[in-house]
């Protein structure tokens, strides 16, 4: 009989206690897994999607909404701003680059974003096949969008109005796929990218007939928002104030907004962290009590094992292994449950295409969970194992 | 504590008797190498126990001493067969199913091998415990109060079974008891052979 099998049998010889301990440990570990996953993914998303974007300029409204819709593409934008006003910004001495974005349409839940090639260059995305658009109504698919839509270069589709699936279709305005991006890990992966002009074309009744009308249209044209890069970090001091007070637009600094968002989330994560800590502590105590009473209960059996020739360390090892099994099981269950919770959160918030939060990822920090499981189990088993080590055979002989 | 000298031939039977508190447990612990004598010489089954270290003593005990405790201590979580396998685990040797089956068979409890101890009668449980004690074919069998809480018939059966088992393995049998019935039973059973010795322990002066 192997010590591992024996420890397993002893563990499940008291199924209720074992199940309770397993439940407690798993719950604590699941909470920690969930916390690690969510914070890791949020950090990563912020890091990769915010990179190089100093300011987002758009319609007046909630700055958070502007960031979420313009950078992460997970909220609806507050409204539109005039293209002319945005292009004016490009001339401002503190501004290095302006990337205008036009939102509003989608195809099967993937947003169609009208922009310039700068947007793709900004995220250093590479083409996996095809080429970038050269004229309106040509699109380049992000890697995930292409995979999920099952589309390749040469195919055509009609976008629908609105950012969620199910808006009315835009009649005879066919988009043609001319390129597919390689996965870049950025927000581009789940977007359908096209020229800003495509979005205008789809939404304008008819194209400009002559030069006059063209100029008039240009005057009226709108974009949803613009991503800005400063020439100097010092611009952060004055430029947002300039936008907010001198123009009809609103400026939102991603760094500020994300800090605000994280501090809002922070309270939630602190509560969850404390909850996980309490759960783990309870689980540890419960395991300790279970093993301690097991040692007391099996005192005679353990003494008999000594009588049968088992050295003391073997009995201690048996106890430790019993706890180890519990820790291993709890780690597996906790990790699964935590991943499930993260997946569920992503699904609930309808972020499944956003890469923002989801399950089934393994950041290195997640190794903390099995380590913690085994640590707690070992710690809880330490005293009981010592008790087993020191079990007195004389008591057995004296029939006590 | 001080114990009188005693020499028992291999295969003989020793009746260790005396009132409770006279040191029977300590005597058994000495024989099993669980306690070291502070003076005197202790030889069990040809092994001088005085100078064996604790690891070696554990290994020695596993192979040489069979022990039948008063409260059997069959592990409730394990089946009868697993209980015997547990003895082999404790001894640090590989599980030997053939040996286990043979031991259970010899004591007539092979049919219960997949039962849990709770599903056995008292007599059956004692047979299983004895099978566990003799699994490694020990040279010495220590039986601690084998007749405690048994009625006359069962006590007679238990003593007869112990004797028969010890004889079949030519093991030295030590029965520690304060039960006066055992002496008579042993005398009756051992009438034909001369290998019965008695060691009467007296209450040690405090």
Q: Which domains does chain B have, with CATH numbers?
A: 13-77+137-200 (3.40.50.300)
Contact B89 A393 (CB under 8 A): no
Chain A: residue whose CA lies nearest to B87: A308
Calculate helix-pair angle for A3-11, A312-348, nearest 10 degrees.
Answer: 60
- Name the domain count of chain A: 2
Gyration radius (Cα) of chain B, Å: 17
**Is A263 a member of any domain?**
no
Q: Pick from A199, A225, A252: which residue ends a domain?
A: A252
Give the count of Cβ contacts less than 8 A between chain A and B: 88
**Closest by CA position to A110, among listed A139, A68, A153:** A139
* Sheet containing strand B196-200, strands side by side: B65-68, B140-144, B172-177, B13-17, B196-200
Q: Are residues A316 and A351 in the same domain?
A: yes
Contact A309 B73 (CB under 8 A): no
Q: Pick from A252, A285, A313: which residue ends a domain?
A: A252
More confident residue, A38 or B190: A38
Give the model's pLDDT for residue A316: 93
Q: Which of B56, B57, B89, B118 has the most A C-beta neighbours within 10 Å, making it the best mutation to test the interface with A?
A: B89
Does any CB of chain A come closer than 8 Å to the CB of residue B67? yes
Give the model's pLDDT for residue B206: 45
Give the model's pLDDT for residue A138: 92
Mean pLDDT of chain A: 86
Indicate the pairing of strand B43-44 with strand B47-48. Answer: antiparallel
Give the model's pLDDT for residue A209: 62
Contact A309 B54 (CB under 8 A): no
Q: Are residues A221 and A320 in the same domain?
A: no
Q: Are residues A19 and A72 in the same domain?
A: no
Q: Are residues A350 and A205 in the same domain?
A: no
Does any CB of chain A come closer than 8 Å to the CB of residue B95? yes
CA distance B196 to chain A (A): 23
Give the model's pLDDT for residue A353: 54
Does any CB of chain A come closer than 8 Å to the CB of residue B58? yes
Q: Which of B58, B70, B84, B175 has the most A C-beta neighbours within 10 Å, making it the best mutation to test the interface with A?
A: B58
Give CA–CA dist A203/B61, Å, rounded.
92
Q: Are residues A276 and A391 in the same domain?
A: yes
Give CA–CA dist A223/A209, Å, rounded.
22
Q: Are residues A102 and A226 in the same domain?
A: yes
B92 contact residues in A (CB cutoff 8 A): 309-311, 314
**Closest by CA position to A389, among listed B85, B58, B81:** B58
At B62-121, the pLDDT tens digits run: 999 999 988 888 988 899 999 999 999 998 888 899 999 999 998 889 999 999 999 998
Q: Are residues A226 and A317 in the same domain?
A: no
Range of the domain at A285: 3-46+268-397
Give the model's pLDDT for residue B154: 85
Give the A window 59-118 contacts with B, CB below 8 Å. none
**Is A38 a member of any domain?**
yes
Chain A: residue whose CA lies nearest to B34: A393
Give CA–CA dist A74/B139, Å, rounded.
80
Q: Pick from A252, A286, A311: which residue ends a domain?
A: A252
Indicate the pairing of strand B172-177 with strand A95-107. Answer: unpaired
More confident residue, A358 or B44: B44
Chain A: residue whose CA lies nearest to B86: A1
Give the B window 131-150 contacts with A, CB below 8 Å. 132, 144-145
A7 contact residues in B (CB cutoff 8 A): none
**Is A259 a member of any domain?**
no
A300 contact residues in B (CB cutoff 8 A): 69, 71, 73
Q: What is the ipTM of this complex?
A: 0.87
Give CA–CA dist A263/A186, Å, rounded.
24
Residue B193 has pLDDT above 60, yes or no: no
At B123-149, the pLDDT tens digits run: 899 999 999 999 989 999 999 888 887
Give the model's pLDDT for residue B41: 87
Give the residues of chain A that fall short of pLDDT 50.
none
Q: Reduce the DSSP state of residue B2 to 3 states and report it.
A: coil
Joined together, the tokens standing for residue A89 give 């910004």
Contact A307 B59 (CB under 8 A): no
Give the model's pLDDT for residue A325: 94
A348: left (phi over 0), alpha (psi -120 to 50) or beta: alpha
**Is A258 a member of any domain?**
no
């Amino acid at each position: 009989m192997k010590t591992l099998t024996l420890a397993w049998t002893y563990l499940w010889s008291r199924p209720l206690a074992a199940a309770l301990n397993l439940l407690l440990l798993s719950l604590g570990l699941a909470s920690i897994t969930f916390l690690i996953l969510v914070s890791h993914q949020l950090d990563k998303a912020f890091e990769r999607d915010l990179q190089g974007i100093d300011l987002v300029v758009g319609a007046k409204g909630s700055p958070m909404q502007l960031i979420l819709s313009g950078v992460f593409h997970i909220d609806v934008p507050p409204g539109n701003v005039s293209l002319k006003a945005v292009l004016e910004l490009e001339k401002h001495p503190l501004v290095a680059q302006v990337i205008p974005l036009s939102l509003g349409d989608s195809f099967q839940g993937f947003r169609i974003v009208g922009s310039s090639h700068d947007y793709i260059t900004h995220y250093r995305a590479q083409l996996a096949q095809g080429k970038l658009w050269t004229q309106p109504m040509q699109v380049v698919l992000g890697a995930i969008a292409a995979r999920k839509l099952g589309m390749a270069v040469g195919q055509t589709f009609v976008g629908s109005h609105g950012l969620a699936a199910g808006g009315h279709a835009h009649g005879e305005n066919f988009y043609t796929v001319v390129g597919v991006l390689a996965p870049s890990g950025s927000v581009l992966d789940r977007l359908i990218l096209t020229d800003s002009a495509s979005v205008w074309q789809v939404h304008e009744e008819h194209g400009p007939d002559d030069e006059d009308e063209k100029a008039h249209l240009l005057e009226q044209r709108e974009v949803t928002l613009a991503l800005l890069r400063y020439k100097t970090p010092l611009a952060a001091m004055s430029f947002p104030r300039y936008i907010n007070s001198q123009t009809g637009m609103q400026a939102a600094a991603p760094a500020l907004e994300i800090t605000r968002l994280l501090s809002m989330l922070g309270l939630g994560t602190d509560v969850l962290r404390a909850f996980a800590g309490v759960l783990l502590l309870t689980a540890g105590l419960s395991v300790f009590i279970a093993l301690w009473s097991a040692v007391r209960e099996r005192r005679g059996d353990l003494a008999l094992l000594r009588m049968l020739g088992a050295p003391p360390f073997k009995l201690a090892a048996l106890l430790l292994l019993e706890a180890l099994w519990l820790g291993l099981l709890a780690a597996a269950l906790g990790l699964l449950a935590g991943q499930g919770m993260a997946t569920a959160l992503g699904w609930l918030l309808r972020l499944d295409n956003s890469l923002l939060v989801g399950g089934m990822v393994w950041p290195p920090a997640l190794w903390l969970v099995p380590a913690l499981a085994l640590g707690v189990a070992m710690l809880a088993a330490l005293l009981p194992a010592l008790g087993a080590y020191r079990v007195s055979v004389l008591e057995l002989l004296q029939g006590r | 504590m001080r114990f009188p000298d005693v020499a028992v031939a291999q295969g003989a039977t020793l009746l260790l008797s005396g009132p409770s508190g006279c040191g029977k447990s300590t005597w058994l612990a000495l024989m099993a190498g669980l306690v070291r004598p502070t003076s005197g010489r202790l030889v069990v089954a040809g092994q001088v126990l005085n100078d064996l270290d604790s690891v070696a003593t554990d290994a020695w005990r596993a192979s040489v001493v069979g022990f039948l405790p008063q409260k059997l201590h069959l592990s409730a979580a394990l089946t009868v067969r697993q209980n015997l396998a547990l003895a082999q685990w404790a001894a640090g040797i590989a599980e030997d199913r053939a040996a286990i089956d043979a031991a259970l068979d010899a004591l007539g409890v092979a049919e219960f091998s997949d039962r849990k101890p709770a599903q056995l009668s008292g007599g059956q449980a004692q047979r299983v415990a004895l099978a566990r004690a003799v699994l490694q074919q020990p040279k010495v069998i220590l039986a601690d109060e084998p007749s405690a809480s048994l009625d006359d018939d069962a006590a007679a059966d238990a003593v007869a079974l112990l004797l028969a088992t010890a004889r079949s393995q030519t093991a030295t049998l030590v029965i520690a008891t304060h039960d006066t019935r055992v002496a008579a039973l042993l005398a009756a059973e051992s009438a034909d052979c001369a290998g019965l010795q008695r060691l009467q322990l007296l209450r040690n002066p405090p």
